[in-house]
Chain A
């Protein structure tokens, strides 16, 4: 069937090679300092008796910084410690520690990552940020994961929200939001040196140095590098796709005064991915500045701006040079006793320059895409300590589909200490991207009789109406558990419409629903042993909406019905650590990938400031495919780390 062959071309011929990433940013600059106002507040507190102090309500945890145990959303936090104890060697591997995500390795350098379905190497319904910088390609509204690296040693935590986040974060926060947050330079002082190698991750090394330039100015610099081996094809031959990457960067955190702080950071990277006949090259640079100002009444103003350039050459496909300029503001202010209002807005310019080939083309090759948005969120305590509601909406303008409005209503009820029940209804959209409207394969002019596919000039945003519930409880200090069922209804999903003999165009003639439930838990069994993990159930149903619509799950997501994952962190004696992570992923239907179980084990020994570890990955079987047909091998690596 011709349609099928085009889907393959679209999915594998070109785009699968794109390894993209999408998301945003995030910062965790810890502002410190005491102001006159703070001094006054302290004096006032000191005048109070102990009993009075303990009766004082702390209106803080600045509402925007809710304890996750109180957040009315399906959130899982992966800590830096979880990552270091897992043996993860890349960001996608670290994301596997969040049970509400679906992460599949496609080959040596490519991953498919999504939440709540629609997973694909071109997955386009997830928003990802690294320290507040959205890592997104307007080529397909997704993420090139092979270009997104952080020094995992310096990660403070990764916050993963599954569920619609469009009201707060904007277009593409459809099925979930990932925030990768690195530690403040204040918290990464000293030297860190690590290195090692193994069978799949052949060699790697990193150095980071952090120090204080003065009493209120802290910085760090780092550089890291790795070489990775090849995955194998279904016939057992090597895919000849080894790759390497070198990356460096810096971060400074500067307390300008007691109430204001400035963070400035940047990274650069370059890498090569082998292919049988040629190789893919990538490089990029980014710079970000964030200024935070607090006010005595509890209000807070933030301004953030960044520049990101990324370049990629995929031989026989295209060369892309993308420059992104972004500025965002956010103002949070208390309104009376029971309300906190957050308002903000942003502007982004993406200058995308494509050099096309005969195989495929983005036309016009050069586009300047603008995105402007404004949002508000109001959290209202209806019954103090018991019932609160959060109303929010984001209005956004993009060059393809114009104005999009994404509202959300949340209601949270806290029946007792350490319990929360919440419900939410949200709309979120996936804004059109270049592949939806500007993509042509083969590049025109196409001789008569040759099948062709092109983007649809009238392509609209994909639209989600999400209904969510959640219950989170901490029966004891050592145990927490959450359950989050959801029902997502999608319309205007991408379809492939037959408009003439052998001629297809992308349109919005598909609908669908996905429902499921996520369970997560963390359990501290003893002082030395913690386990955490979760289970996802997902049911997907898609159907055409209008004549001509074709949409095989192969293109819009290949999702397991059941997924189970866990992490165990165990301190033995004399500085020994024994850690494990494992996961079961159910069968993928189209194209079929068999279900698999996989386990990673890490054994480490800490001796003074040195750490020696051996990590075995994918130990359960000799190799297995996770997505597509390439096989991910069982592997092992050793690592030595020195912190001083």
Chain B
């Protein structure tokens, strides 16, 4: 699913994110509440819970709003915007924006085995080794698709409540 058309806007095709990413920001926040990280995922007991957004940030501030004053795994949540996956060394969640889709397979390889929840919203993310994909449906809803093998390999535990509303997929299906 490649995005963008310009059908109606003579000059503004690709912009606006707004509502879609507000919803995705809150879904991302929800993920931090329904997934459990092993203690080894954190450098120290005082470390914050770090969510990284790689590349251009599609949330435009909505994510900061969604996690403001919130905690996950009993730690304050910090949002960090990064350009390279190496900068996510101490993070627990990484979100890949569409603009970085071409680099994603390589980036995922580098973090394989780490206790990192990888999330994105584009096609092929799960088959590249990603864990959760926020897929858009034609009726303009968001579906959560989860690759459980990848979650297990990362040592993450997803709550039953979360799994009930997700579509579980095998990497090869995506």
Number of interface residues of B (CB under 8 A): 60
A159 adjacent to B65 (CB under 8 Å) = no
A527 adjacent to B127 (CB under 8 Å) = yes
Also in contact, A68 and B2, with CB within 8 A (given A56-B23, A60-B18): yes
Q: Which of A34, A50, A62, A70 contacts B165 (CB 8 A)?
A: A50
A1–B22 CA distance with the chains assembled, in angstroms: 68
How many chain A residues sit at the interface, stated as a range, is: 35 or more
B143 at the interface (CB under 8 A from A): yes
B140 adjacent to A29 (CB under 8 Å) = no
A179 adjacent to B20 (CB under 8 Å) = no
A434–B65 CA distance with the chains assembled, in angstroms: 55
B11 adjacent to A33 (CB under 8 Å) = no
A298–B162 CA distance with the chains assembled, in angstroms: 30
Also in contact, A157 and B62, with CB within 8 A (given A67-B4, A68-B2): no
**A residues whose Cβ falls under 8 Å from a Cβ of B:** 24-34, 38-39, 41-42, 45-46, 48, 50-51, 53-73, 75, 77, 79, 81, 129, 132, 156-157, 159, 161, 168-169, 177, 179, 181, 184, 186-187, 258, 290, 292, 294, 298, 300, 302, 304, 328, 330, 332, 340, 342, 344, 377, 379, 384-385, 390, 414, 417-418, 474, 477-478, 480, 522, 524, 527-528, 571
Q: Which of A24, A31, A42, A340 contacts B65 (CB 8 A)?
A: A42
A38 adjacent to B62 (CB under 8 Å) = yes
B124 adjacent to A73 (CB under 8 Å) = no
B149 at the interface (CB under 8 A from A): no
B40 at the interface (CB under 8 A from A): no
B138 at the interface (CB under 8 A from A): yes
Which of chain B's residues 1-52 have a Cβ closer than 8 Å to chain A? 1-20, 22-23, 25-27, 29-30, 34
Determine chain A's interface SS by DSSP, over half rule. mixed
A414 adjacent to B57 (CB under 8 Å) = no
A38–B106 CA distance with the chains assembled, in angstroms: 34
Residue of chain B at shortest CB distance from A157:
B4
Q: Which of A63, A70, A184, A379 contacts B138 (CB 8 A)?
A: A70
**B residues whose Cβ falls under 8 Å from a Cβ of A:** 1-20, 22-23, 25-27, 29-30, 34, 55-62, 64-66, 99, 102, 105-106, 123-124, 127-128, 136-144, 161-162, 165, 174
A28–B17 CA distance with the chains assembled, in angstroms: 11
Cβ distance A603 to chain B, nearest Cβ, rounded Å: 18
A79–B165 CA distance with the chains assembled, in angstroms: 33
Residue of chain B at shortest CB distance from A261:
B15
Cβ distance B17 to chain A, nearest Cβ, rounded Å: 7
A258–B62 CA distance with the chains assembled, in angstroms: 11
A159 adjacent to B141 (CB under 8 Å) = no
